[in-house]
Amino acid sequence: MKKTAILLIIMLLSASGEASGQIPVSLKGTNRTTGEVITINSVIRPLGRLAVQTAPDSVTGIIETILYPELRKYDIVPTDIESLWQVKMLGSQIYDGLLKSGYSYDLRYAMEEMMREFISRADQNNSFYIDSYLEARLYGLLRMVYPVRNSDKRPGILSLRILSDIVPDAWVGPDGTMVITTGMITAVNSEAELMALMAQEVAHFALDHHLSNYNNLLLTGKEPALGNLIRYTTKQELVADLCAVSVLKFYRIDPAILASMLRKVLAAGELMGNYYLGSTNGFFPDAATRAASYPDTVVWFSGEYEKMIAPVISYNAFSAYNQSQYLLCRRLLERNIASGAVSPDDLVLLSQAMMKLSGSDQEDENALAVVRSVTGTMEEPSPGAYKQEALLLLRLGRRAEAGKALDRCDEALDREAQKYRAMTGDWSQMLSYLASEKEWVDRTRKR
């Protein structure tokens, strides 16, 4: 823009006397024609039109005001993650809306109250998965994706909680809390895929999709609820996808990783029989169509990631087994075997899942081989390992061998009971459980 035109705009603005707020930013742009470099330090809305103001000229002290359409003449290249999001919010008219209509603090407070209630209930129900090391790694990714808080005047501090749930899901609440399920963590095979997920979910927070959904619900006469605020339209998801791609490109990560993440979520859903997950109204709306926009030719897999989440895999496998998701349980535990992070308890549980899925003597033999890799190698296997061995042997009609396994189970139960009796504290419930298991052994011997 020519200097005379800029000065004319400044004079017109001064003459109008219109008071308008401003949003601080830190952006640099280069004029494609003249090569002039400008530093943008605020977004304003004079005379009802969006504009930016530059830092004072080092020689003249003049502050340039550039109307938003004129910014198309400049290349604005983000220098850090904060400036990247500032460019996104400037281009998506978020700043224009804030300066035009205000910050809607009352509505934002109401939304934050919903989130506080959710967090409180989840805490009371022990629904959060606690793993300090894993959280530290996830926070590292989150800080790469977005600043701690908005650089404008909107409230919210970006934080993170892990929810115990085998269903893959992730979302950012109106207060900036990212909730990611254990199922989501095990649905993917790399931190890079989690980073793509985080960037996509954070975009909803950055672009005020919660507030937009809240206002739409009010217009339709519906009572806003947290579940409605965090479920987005396909259009909102596509916009968030583009933001995620920009974040990935900023770190020189192939955007196809976003497609990889979405496809793995769909695969996890199919494994569970949850075909709703990627439907239009599911947790990941139209995931298959969105993934198809980014051809994925790379296999994203990290052995380090698999070892890091091994405890989460074990936890999810146990939860999956208790929810009769035996195929999911088996697939998860096979990942721990592949990463070399499998535990004896994992192997016993794997044998149990294999037995539930078995439809032949050969499959029972395979399950028996797995549990015997514990009972045949450990000095003092758990009572549960011997119990599982006995059940498989009985199922195969090998009663003499089953009797020996029951004897060893009985001895292991005695060892466990002796250990708990020697420990301080009230272990009455555990001792009662061990006594019931001994009764089961006695009953099974007589059958």
The sign of the dihedral angle between the CA atoms of 98, 102, 103, 109 is negative
What is the predicted pLDDT for the residue at 20?
47
What is the predicted pLDDT for the residue at 100?
95
What is the predicted pLDDT for the residue at 18?
35
- Is residue 15 classed exposed, middle or buried when 0-12, 13-18 and 19+ CB atoms within 10 A define those classes? exposed
What does pLDDT average to over the chain?
Answer: 93
E strands present in 119-169? 159-163
The alpha carbon of residue 3 and the mean position of all alpha carbons in its chain are separated, in whole angstroms, by 48
% of the chain surpassing 90 pLDDT = 90
Among the residues of 323-382, which ranges form H helices? 326-339, 344-357, 361-375
What is the predicted pLDDT for the residue at 210?
97
Residue type for position 362: Q
What is the predicted pLDDT for the residue at 308?
97
Write the pLDDT tens digit of every residue in 13-38.
Answer: 433 333 348 999 999 999 999 999 99
- Confidence band for 404, pLDDT divided at 50, 70 and 90: very high
Q: Is the pLDDT of residue 164 over 90?
A: yes
Question: Which has the closest alpha carbon to 161: 170, 153, 152?
Answer: 170
C-alpha span between 263 and 301 (Å, rounded): 14
Write the pLDDT tens digit of every residue in 108-124.
Answer: 999 999 999 999 999 99
Write the pLDDT tens digit of every residue in 335-387.
Answer: 999 999 999 999 999 999 999 999 999 999 999 999 999 999 999 999 999 99
- Confidence band for 294, pLDDT divided at 50, 70 and 90: confident
Dig out the tokens for 109 from the structure: 């407070």
**Do the strands 177-181 and 22-31 form a parallel or antiparallel pair, or are they unpaired?**
unpaired
What is the predicted pLDDT for the residue at 403?
97
- Confidence band for 3, pLDDT divided at 50, 70 and 90: very low
Write the pLDDT tens digit of every residue in 223-248.
Answer: 889 999 999 999 999 999 999 999 99
Q: Is the pLDDT of residue 278 over 60?
A: yes
Q: Kindly state the average pLDDT of the residues 114-142.
A: 98
What is the predicted pLDDT for the residue at 37?
92
Dig out the tokens for 93 from the structure: 């008219």
Counted residue by residue, the chain has a size of: 447
Q: Kindly state the average pLDDT of the residues 196-216.
A: 97
% of the chain surpassing 70 pLDDT = 96
Q: Is the pLDDT of residue 5 over 50?
A: no
C-alpha span between 193 and 261 (Å, rounded): 5
Write the pLDDT tens digit of every residue in 38-69.
Answer: 999 999 999 899 999 999 988 888 999 999 99
The answer to whether 225 touches 371, Cβ cutoff 8 Å, is no
- Confidence band for 295, pLDDT divided at 50, 70 and 90: confident
Q: Kindly state the average pLDDT of the residues 412-437.
A: 96
Q: Kindly state the average pLDDT of the residues 124-136.
A: 97
